Structure 1
Amino acid sequence: MAELDDNGHELRGGLRYPWPQPPASGQAGEVAAGVWWLRMPLPFRLDHINLYLLRHDHGWVVVDTGMNTAQTQEVWARVFEQVFAGQPLLAVICTHYHTDHAGVAGWLAERFRCPVYMTAAEYRSLYVAVPGEQAPGWDFVNFYAKAGFGDEQIGELYRLVQNGHFRPLHFNSYRRLREGDRLRIGSRQWRVV
C-alpha cells in the first residue's frame, strides 16, 4: 500500500507524486490549467525527458525541446496537431544547453519564427564542440572517472556522444534570461531561478 500525504498524493522516498502515472512516451497531458507535461522519448538508456507546454494568449510557449532525432520531430508534429491545434509556437525556453533539452530549439524557432530564451552561459555552452577524436582524451576520461564511471562506461559514453543526436540544431540569436527575471506566460508569472 502506498504512503499518502495529507492531500491524498502518493509519497515515494519522501517525494510527492500528484499524478499516479506519467504520460505515455511521446504523449502530453494537461497537469494544470494551461500547463501540459510532454514525455519526450530519448534513444538511449535514459529513455525520456520531461518537457512542458504552456498556453499563452493566442499560442504556446515550450520549456525545453528534446534531442535532435527524427523521433523527436515526429512527436512535435503530433503536438502541433493534437495539442496546439493550429495555434503557433510563440517562444522556446531552454533550461540548459544539454542536447536533450535544446537539441531542436533552432528547428522550432525557425519553423515558427519565434525567439529562444536561455541564459548567456547556457547559450555559449551550445557551441562547445563534441569531441571528435577516435578515442577520448585524458580530460574526458578524468572527468568521468571522478564521477564514478568505469573504463567500459566511459568508452560507451564517448561512442554515444559522437552520434549526431548530440549536435543540437543551432540558432543565431536568443533572448537572455537572468536570475530573478519574470516572464508572464498565460495567467501566470514565472520567475527565473
Structure 2
Amino acid sequence: MAPCYCATPGLWRRCRAQQICCIATNLISGRLEFDKHRQHRAAVDLVQKKDTILDYPEIRLPEGGEAREILPGIRWLRMPLPMALDHVNLWLLADGDHWAAVDTGIATDEQKSFWQQILATHPLSHLVVTHLHPDHLGLAAWLQERTGAPLWMTQGEFATAHLFLNQMGHWSFAEVEALYARHGLSQELQTALAGRSGGYRKGVPAIPATYRRMIDGDQFTIGDQTWRVITGYGHSPEHASLYCDELHVLISGDMMLPRISTNVSVSPTSPDDDGLGRFLDSIARFRELPEDTLVLPSHGRPFRGLHLRIAQLEAHHAERCEVLTEACVVPKTAAELVPVLFDRPINDAHQIFFALGETIAHLNHLLRAGRVRRIEEGSHFHFVTVS
C-alpha cells in the first residue's frame, strides 16, 4: 500500500482514512490472513492509533452540575460513575424554553445532586434514553417524578429493562452465572460474580411504567432541529442513536466511542447469538453519515473522524478474532480465552462479567463464520479451530 504525501493536513487525513478503510474491509472479508501476512500487523497498528487520527474539538470538560455548550442548542453534562469507567456523558437539546435530556445517568446521590443544580436552569420536556444500561436509564424515573417529562425509548430496551429489573425468566442473574459456568468460569469467580446479583436494581431503582416508542428511521423535532433514530445491536437489545442532518451531529450513545471499544456480549436468553456480527453491521451503517459528522459519545470526548473510527473498530475486532482462532488450535473454554482476547488475566468479578461475555460473543462470531467449532467436554463448552 503506497504512502500518501499530501501536504494539506485535511487531505492527508482523508487519504489516510481511505487506507484505513481499505485495510479494515480486507480484514473483515478475510483477505488479510494474519498467519500468512504478518507484515500487515503494522497496518493494523496504524488503524488502531486513535488519538493521532481523530479530531477532538477544543472544548473544556464540564464540571459536575454544569451544562457546557457544544453547539447552539446542545449542551454537555459529564456525570461521575462509581467504577473504572469513571464518567458518562449526557446531552441536553434545546426545546423552546425547555430542554430534552438524552440519557439520565445512574442512580447515585452524587448524580442526583448534580441534576438538581441543572434542573434549576434547564427544565426538561423529554427524557430520551439510548438504552437500558444503568448509566443511561438509572435516573429516568427519578427525573420523571420531578419534571413530568415523558420517556422515549425503543421497545427492545424498555421491555428488556423491565425484565432485568424484575429478574424475570432467563433475565435473572442466576441464569448469567449458569451460562458462564457452562463456558468454564471457575468456581471462585462464580462465587465472586454472585455478589453482583441485584446490581442492576441499585443503578436503576425504578423505570417509568409508560413510554413513547422509538423505531429505526423515526424522525422527530426538538426545538428547531430534526433528529433521526438509528438503531444498533450487539451492545444492547435495540440501542438508539440520534442523528441531526442539519447540524451533522450524531449522538452515538455507546455504539461509537472514541477511545475504547464498545462491550459486545451475549445474554442467557440468546446464548448462541452473533452479537459481534450485529454490532459490526450496526456501526457500518454509520458510514452513510457525512465524514465531518460531530460524534457525541457516551464516554470520552466529542470527536470528528467517524469513518476512521468505524475502520479502527472493524480492524480491532478482526485482529482479536484472528488471535482467538490461533489460540484455539488446542480446544479451550471461553474462560480460558479471556486473557487471550484481552492480553491480560482478569480476576475481578466486575470486569469478568463483561470480559467473559465479550469473549463468548467473539467465539460465537467465529462459530457462525465456520472458523471454529464448539464441542462439549464434560459440563463445559470448548472451542477448537477448524483446520
CA contact (8 A) 1:26 1:41 kept: no
What SS does structure 1 have at the residue aligned with 2:112? helix
State the distance in 2 between where 1:140 and 1:64 align.
Answer: 29
Q: State the partner residue of 1:73.
A: 112
Q: State the partner residue of 2:198.
A: 162
CA contact (8 A) 2:139 2:204 kept: no
Q: State the partner residue of 1:106.
A: 141
- TM-score scaled by length of structure 2: 0.41
State the distance in 1 between where 2:60 and 2:131 align.
Answer: 26
Q: State the partner residue of 1:171.
A: 208
State the distance in 1 between where 2:114 and 2:186 align.
Answer: 34
By how many angstroms is 1:112 displaced?
A: 1.2
Q: State the partner residue of 1:58.
A: 97
State the distance in 2 between where 1:160 and 1:25 align.
Answer: 28
Residue ranges of structure 1 left out of the alignment (5+ in a row): none
Q: How many residues align?
A: 178
Map residues 4-19 of structure 1 onto 2, 5 A cutoff.
Answer: 6=10, 12-19=51-58
By how many angstroms is 1:70 displaced?
A: 1.0
What SS does structure 1 have at the residue aligned with 2:101? strand
Map residues 64-143 of structure 1 onto 2, 5 A cutoff.
Answer: 64-81=103-120, 83-84=121-122, 88-129=123-164, 137=174, 139-140=176-177, 142-143=179-180
In structure 2, give the amino acid aligned to 1:162. G
Map residues 141-160 of structure 1 onto 2, 5 A cutoff.
Answer: 142-143=179-180, 158-160=194-196
In structure 1, give the amino acid aligned to 2:103. D
Please say which structure displays the higher CA radius of gyration.
2
Q: State the partner residue of 1:39.
A: 78
Q: State the partner residue of 2:224.
A: 187
CA contact (8 A) 2:108 2:203 kept: no
CA contact (8 A) 1:102 1:168 kept: no
By how many angstroms is 1:126 displaced?
A: 1.1
What SS does structure 2 have at the residue aligned with 1:52? strand
CA contact (8 A) 2:59 2:70 kept: no
Q: State the partner residue of 2:68.
A: 29
Distance 1:158 1:35, change over 3 A: farther
Structural RMSD (CA): 3.0
CA contact (8 A) 1:67 1:168 kept: no
**Greater share of helix:** 2
The CA deviation string for residues 85-144 of structure 1, in whole angstroms up to 9 with x for no partner, is: xxx21110000011110011111112111210000010001112366xxxx646336459
State the distance in 2 between where 1:64 and 1:90 align.
Answer: 13
What SS does structure 2 have at the residue aligned with 1:78? helix
The CA deviation string for residues 147-188 of structure 1, in whole angstroms up to 9 with x for no partner, is: xx9887776665345345233421110000010111111211
Distance 1:39 1:144, change over 3 A: farther
Distance 1:78 1:14, change over 3 A: same
CA contact (8 A) 1:67 1:100 kept: yes
State the distance in 2 between where 1:150 and 1:19 align.
Answer: 46
CA contact (8 A) 1:99 1:168 kept: no
CA contact (8 A) 1:27 1:40 kept: no
**Greater share of strand:** 1
